[in-house]
Homo-oligomer: A and B are copies of this chain.
Amino acid sequence: MQKIALDAMGADNGVAPVIDGLRAALNHKEFKTFLVGDESEIKKHLESLSIKSLKNVEIVPTSDYIKMSEHASAANKRSESSIFKAIALVKNGDADACVSAGHSGATMSLATLQVGRIKGVSRPAICTCMPTITANPSIILDAGANTDCKPEYLYEFAIMGYHYAKSVLKYATPRVGILANGEEDSKGNELTKAVFKMLKDSDILGASFKGNVEGNDIFNGSVDVVVCDGFMGNLVLKASEGVAAAINSILKSEIKKSLLNMIGYSLAKPAFKALKAKIDYAEYGGAPLLGIKKPVIISHGKSNARAMECAIYQALNALDSNICDIIAKAFENKA
Contacts and interface: CB of A to CB of B under 8 A. Distances in A.
Interface of A: 131-133, 144, 147-148, 179-182, 188-190, 214-220, 228-232, 234-247, 249-251, 254-255, 257-258, 260-272, 274-275, 278-279
A242 B263 CA distance: 29
A262 to B, nearest CB: 8
A261 B254 contact: no
Contact of A147 (B188, B216, B267): B188
Contacts of A257: 270-271, 274
Given A254-B271, A267-B267, A271-B255, A239 B236 contact: yes
A266 B268 CA distance: 9
Given A250-B279, A264-B268, A218 B242 contact: yes
Given A215-B238, A242-B218, A231 B267 contact: no
Given A219-B243, A264-B267, A265-B271, A133 B250 contact: yes
A243 B245 contact: no
B264 A133 contact: no
Give the copy number. Answer: 2
B271 A235 contact: no
A181 to B, nearest CB: 4
B236 A189 contact: no
A198 to B, nearest CB: 18
A257 to B, nearest CB: 7
Contacts of A246: 131-133, 219-220, 279
Contacts of A179: 235
Contact of A242 (B216, B245, B268): B216
Nearest to A253: B133
A98 to B, nearest CB: 24
Given A133-B250, A267-B264, A268-B255, A220 B245 contact: yes
B250 A189 contact: no
B189 A148 contact: yes
A245 B216 CA distance: 9
B260 A267 contact: yes
